[in-house]
Amino acid sequence: MGRADPRLPGGDVRAGDDHLRHRRRRPGRGLTDDRFALALMAPAAVFLAVFVGWPLVKLIVDSLYDIAPLAGTREFAGLGNYGEALTSPGFLGAAGRTALYTMLVVTLEFTLGLAVALLFNALGRRARWIRTLFLYPLMIAPVVAGLLWRFLLIDNFGIVNELLTRLGIIGGPDAIGWLSDPDIVLFSVALPDIWLTTSFMALVLFAGLQNIPGDVLEAARLDGSGPWHTLTRVTLPLLRPVIAVALVVRGIDAARAFDVILIQTNGGPQSASETLSLLIYRTMVRFGEPGLASAMGTLYLIAMLGVALIAVATIWRPGKVVR
Amino acid sequence: MTSRTSTRTLLWALLASIVVLYAFPFGYLVLTSLKPPTDAIAVPPTVLPKAWSLENYGTALATPGVIPSFINSTSTAVISTVLSVLLAVPAAYGITRYGTASGRIFVMLALVTRMVPPVAVGVPLVNLMSRAGITDTPTALALAHTTISLPLSIWLMASFFEAVPSSLEEAAQVDGCSRLQAMVRVVVPVVGGGIAVTAIFAFLASWNEFLFALLLTAVRAQTTPIVIANFQTQYGLQWGPMTALATLYSVPVVLFTLLLQRRIVAGMTLGAVKG
Amino acid sequence: MSHNSGLSRRDLLKWTGVSGLAVMATACGAGGTTSGSGAGGAKALSVLVEAGGKAELTKIAEAFTEKTGAKVTFIELPYDGLFNRLSSELSSGTLSFDVAALDAIWLTAFAGAVRPLTELFTADVKADLFPALVTEAQVGGQFVGMPVWTNAEILFYRKDLFEDAGEQAAFKKKHGYELAPPTTWEQFNDAAAFFTRDGKLYGTDVKGAVETEFLAHVLQAGSPGVVLDATGQVIIDNEQHLKALTFYSDLDNKLKVSPPGAEQLDWAGAQNLFNQGKTAMMRFWAHAFPLIPKDSPVHGKVGVAPMIGGAAGVAGIPGPWYLSVPKATKQADLATEFVKFAYDNNAMAIESSLGLAARKSAFEQYADKPGYEHFEPLLETLNATATKPRPATAKWQQIVDTVLIPTLQQSLTPDADYAALLAAAKGKVQSLAQ
């Protein structure tokens, strides 16, 4: 039905326009390919410029000012906000925690995801329904996942400690303060994130595994290579591009984590789970210091870009994959 | 032979335990929502309800704003999905088909967009929307959500277009189609499945989003994730109704995606994307 | 598969057209809340409230509509979202509301953006409000908000345990005086230790994720203020703060009378522990008394008493919400009328799920009725001479989030050096308050 129907109501004017364009283009080929491509990209580019570019410019401009939103004052502060951010233990701590959180999430997801993908691959078609089941956490809102895990881990009535106690793994329901012990809380708040997206890792890696030609693995086996050796020397190098994409994508997402943590601990206890997103949000909207928050946001963005580019350059290595 | 079978069994057992671990959290959420409110937060907790009750659902649905929030979530996600697909399809086509320098720059910039922490652009976006006079409307929120889903959609659509041989539109152009006609009438229909996948991801990105919804909506456009978080008030937290609402909000997408799982897996693995 | 999902260019244009129209249509409809108040048309008022507080105002709003014909709509937001919305809208001047319910601690921050309501504060009005609220409502010599409801922490205890003859005898034998709801820190410690029974029951809870309760103890110890004194000097390291922190955290560190997880325990968690019968006593906001669920194991077994007292006697931190009218509203008169109406009909708020008011007379009207046993202790706590509001500083939220709560949480470790923690806190507060 989607095919052009010139008799569509309201279509007449446009139809005329169509003819006009044909006439204009046919003789001299009209737009060059370059221009045509540009015209196709233009709407999306304009959209992103307005709704992402402009706010980013605003962010960077604001980062150079001392702003008191309620008093309505705005004074140029040069790089003062950057100085303040870079010398504040809160910002540096949050930056460290963001890095740690990202590492934690990505490492665990990758390890678990790879294990599951290898399992799927070993079991073949019969594991299909399980692959379907694995999909479901991906669809759940991070807010819901955060609440759910908070509910599972919460002190006094969390089911996880209760079950661990009954299984005899821990001494009592109060043995682990998942969300109240500052030493482990960063790990605990990462659990929903890991739970939500390990499936993503698993499915992407599984697809990558399926694309590895069987004869390559067979050759390795015939060469007398053990399973571990095959995995580290043959399979993983072949998966490199897939792994790179998956790690970069997940790393970016994990570094921006906001709602899962907000809903679980709101950054506590003792700020032990306060990541940069939370700190910036707080500084911006709760403490009313948009200038400082913008400087933090800008630094955060620069760091993300830097790390992502390095990651892409070192592990992606586009082009021919080494055997 | 026997050692091989036992390895198999071990693998299956391993997988089964992972599955149980995986299914448990959500199962527990659903079970909790079916407990009477006080049992939901009993100390010590129980896995299975001692008594079954729909009271939490009653409370959740009777809470003002809950039902409108479902409508808001749906309309926001639909607007954002349509917008995202409409912008992404031509852009991705332009990028993959012409391989121009501008296209490569655009892909880079779109990737950079994906790295922008939402919290950094959230507040400027609020100002932008209020200047346009559209704060607290599904449209405003949908525009914000499109900033998240558009880079993803472009990326995804680009992978789908790449899979289409360029001989297709060359043939169409030989037949007298313009480039635009070749794209719209020949190539786009071929990637219909890809568009569906892209749409699913755009929809999910909007349906599940929290931060922009918190910043950009007040009363008329409030989406369900905000209402769920609203059960945590200054003086208390109503776990029971909250689990009920969380279940209600998640079940449709979970079922929906299980039905469409093949397309979703295709989408994820093609573009290596998380919705 | 491809046929249905294919879009022709014409469809595409049509869709963009439609969505473009949709954008415009909503754009036109949006600004309506405040601007739709033209002469002659139906009057309408938007009130911004926290999700938990809306019920307090619903009855009043209905009566207001009946009287004036003005329709009242509520904008509900979660606590965090509310502050954010207030600060972004008040600073930009584009408002979606005409009246806002402000948490007491935000008054100072928003004082410059709301209209003075001084003319509403007649001598009669001031006499009928708790002294701490009259003080708190003034910022820079002007009254900037009218209290609508206030809360304070009182003592909840298990009547069935405290009135049990066996428990009473055992307590007397151990401590040498009659078991009764404690009125002092010492009695509280005794009772808490007495009722702590290896994991089945705890004497009380210790809340590490909220700060107000600790601050109430600071006032009970006789401090001239909490964190800051009246002149804005940082006094968080004074002797009374130290005494209060020692009392507060020793319950968990030394006496071990509280359930695990004190560091992240917040109001909701503490309330649940008590309602589940896990704690014998709880210091908690008074409104929770009628909210003990019918199916809770402690339903009907709970007594209430005024907040405990220290050297300076009983004291609490009032937790009021104020109605304020933003300067930028186009309906200032109607909004002010609503604020006055809410004060005049304050008692209506009591018949709501939160069940609180701000006027003494409103509380007193109900205090004798069954089911309102918590009002007498609440009145006593709010009227106590040592009861004071939190300091008026725009940085309060930041002090709480970045200094007070982390300090409390750090104090909840067995070897915590309370004096050192408070000294460190002083430096941080000073750098924030500048």
| Alpha carbon distance C333, C257 (integer Å) | 54
In a domain, A294, yes or no: yes
Q: Determine, for residues B139 and C22 on separate chains, whether the beta-carbon distance falls below 8 Å.
A: yes
- Is C91–A285 a contact, with Cβ atoms under 8 angstroms apart? no
Q: How many CA atoms lie within 13 A of B57 on its CB side?
A: 13
Q: State the maximum Cα–Cα separation within chain B, in Å, rounded to a whole number.
A: 75
The answer to whether B33 touches B56, Cβ cutoff 8 Å, is yes
pLDDT at B258 over 90: no
Q: Tokens 């003034």 label which residue?
A: C138
Going by the DSSP 8-state scheme, the letter that residue C347 receives in this structure is G
Q: Which residue type, as a one-letter code, is found at position B79?
A: I
- Measured at the CA of C361, the angle between CA C356 and CA C363, to 5 degrees, comes to 30
Would you say A132 and B258 are in contact if contact means Cβ atoms under 8 Å apart? Answer: yes
Tokens for C215, please give them. 């601050």
Per-residue CA distances from A217 to A204, A323, C93, C318, C389 (Å): 19, 12, 67, 72, 73
Q: Which CATH class is domain B68-271?
A: mainly alpha
Q: What DSSP string runs through A190-233?
A: HHHHHHHHHHHHHHHHHHHHHTS-HHHHHHHHHTT--HHHHIII
Helix A11-28 vs helix C9-30: angle between axes, to the nearest 10 degrees? 130
Task: Check if the beta carbon of residue A220 is closer than 8 Å to that of residue A230.
Answer: yes
pLDDT digits (tens, 9 = 90+) for C245-284: 999 999 999 999 999 889 889 898 899 899 989 999 999 9
Q: Does A156 map to a domain?
A: yes
CB-CB: which of C2, C31, C52 is closest to B133?
C31
pLDDT in 10s for each residue of chain C, 434 residues:
333 333 343 443 344 333 333 333 333 333 333 333 333 456 899 999 987 778 889 999 999 999 999 999 988 777 767 887 787 788 777 788 999 999 998 999 899 899 999 999 999 999 999 999 999 999 989 999 999 999 999 999 999 999 999 999 999 999 999 999 999 999 999 999 999 998 789 999 999 999 999 999 999 999 999 999 989 899 999 999 999 999 999 999 999 999 988 988 989 889 989 998 999 999 999 999 998 988 889 999 999 999 999 999 999 999 999 999 999 898 999 999 999 999 999 999 998 878 899 999 999 999 999 999 999 999 999 999 999 999 988 889 889 988 999 999 999 988 899 999 999 999 999 988 87
A42 assigned to some structural domain: no
Q: 3-state secondary structure string, C101-125?
A: EEEHHHHHHHHHHECCCHHHCCHHH
For residue A11, count other CB atoms closer than 10 A to its CB.
18
CA distance C12 to B204: 22
Flag whether the ipTM exceeds 0.90: no
| Cβ B232 vs Cβ B117: under 8 Å | no
Say how many domains are in chain A: 1
Range of the domain at A146: 90-316
Q: Are C101 and C76 in contact (CB under 8 A)?
A: no
Q: C87-137, pLDDT tens digit by residue?
A: 778 877 778 899 999 999 899 989 989 999 999 999 999 999 999 999 999
The neighbour count for residue C178, using CB atoms within 10 Å, is 8
Tell me which of C24, C26, C95 to substitute to probe the interface with B (most B C-beta atoms closer than 10 Å): C26
Q: Which residue of A has its CA nearest to B213?
A: A259
| Unique residue bearing structure tokens 């972004």 | C88
The encoded tokens of residue B195 equal 């568009």
Q: C210 CB near a chain B CB, below 8 Å?
A: no
* CATH code: domain of residue A250: 1.10.3720.10
Q: What CA dihedral angle connects A291, A296, A302 and A307, to 10 degrees?
A: -170
Rounded Cα gap, residues A281 and C194, in angstroms: 45
Q: Is residue A231 part of a domain?
A: yes
Asked whether residue A286 is assigned to any structural domain, the reply reads: yes
Give, for C67, the enclosing helix (H) or strand (E).
helix C54-68
CA distance A158 to chain C (A): 11
Inter-residue contact B142 to B260 (CB < 8 Å): no
Question: In this structure, which long-range contacts are made by residues C343-351, counting pairs with CB atoms below 8 Å and at least 24 apart in sequence?
Answer: C343/C120, C343/C125, C343/C146, C343/C148, C345/C60, C345/C63, C346/C148, C348/C59, C348/C60, C348/C63, C349/C56, C349/C57, C349/C59, C349/C60, C349/C148, C349/C149, C351/C59
Pairwise CB contact (< 8 Å): B146 & A47: yes
Give the three-class secondary structure for C137: coil
Q: Is there a contact between C268 and B237 if contact means CB atoms under 8 Å apart?
A: yes
C181 contacts C122 by C-beta, under 8 angstroms? no
The Cα of C417 is separated from the nearest Cα of chain B by a number of Å equal to 31
d(CA B15, CA B9): 10
Count the neighbouring beta carbons within 10 Å of the beta carbon of residue B141. Answer: 31
User: Which one-letter amino acid corresponds to residue B14?
Assistant: L
CB atoms within 10 A of CB A26: 11
- Nearest Cα to B148, choosing from C27, A273, A142? A142
Domains, chain C, in order of start with CATH, read 32-150+319-358 (3.40.190.10), 153-317+392-433 (3.40.190.10)
**Please, what's the b/e burial string for A293-309 (b: 16 or more CB within 10 A of its CB; e: otherwise)?**
bbbbbbbbbebbeebbe
CB contact under 8 A, B265 and A151: no
Best residue in B35, B38, B200 for a mutation probing chain C (most C CBs within 10 Å): B38
Given this model, what pLDDT does residue A1 score?
35
Q: Which of C9, C14, C261 sits opposite A174 (nearest CB)?
A: C261
| Phi, psi (rounded to 5 degrees) for B122 | -55, -50
Chains interfacing with A (3 or more CB pairs < 8 Å): B, C
Q: Could you tell me which chain C residue has the CA closest to the CA of B220? A: C75
> Sheet harboring C321-324: ordered strands across?
C71-77, C44-50, C99-103, C321-324, C146-149
A71 inside domain: no
- DSSP line for C366-422: HHTSTT-TTHHHHHHHHH-TT--PPP--TTHHHHIIIIIHHHHHHHTSTT--HHHHH
Question: With contacts defined as CB-CB under 8 Å, which chain C residues touch B266?
Answer: none
Contact list, A72 vs chain C (CB under 8 Å): 91
> What pLDDT, on the 0 to 100 scale, is given for residue B235?
63
The answer to whether position A10 is within a domain reads no
Question: Which chain A residue is nearest to residue C114, measuring alpha carbons?
Answer: A70
With contact defined as 3+ CB pairs under 8 Å, the chains touching B are: A, C
C74 three-class SS: strand
The alpha carbon torsion through C249, C251, C255, C257 (nearest 10 deg) reads -140
Instruction: Note the pLDDT of residue B58.
Output: 92
Along the 323 residues of chain A, how does pLDDT read in single tens digits?
333 333 333 333 333 344 434 433 443 456 787 888 889 999 999 999 999 999 999 999 999 999 887 777 788 998 999 999 999 989 999 999 999 999 999 999 999 999 988 888 888 777 777 777 788 888 889 999 998 999 899 888 889 998 998 888 888 777 888 988 889 999 999 999 999 888 888 888 888 888 888 788 788 878 887 888 888 888 888 888 788 878 888 888 899 999 999 988 888 788 899 999 999 998 888 888 889 999 999 999 999 888 888 877 776 554 433 33
CB contact under 8 A, B211 and A281: yes
CB C178 within 8 A of CB C162: no
Question: Closest Cα partner for C349 from C17, C64, C18, C9?
Answer: C64
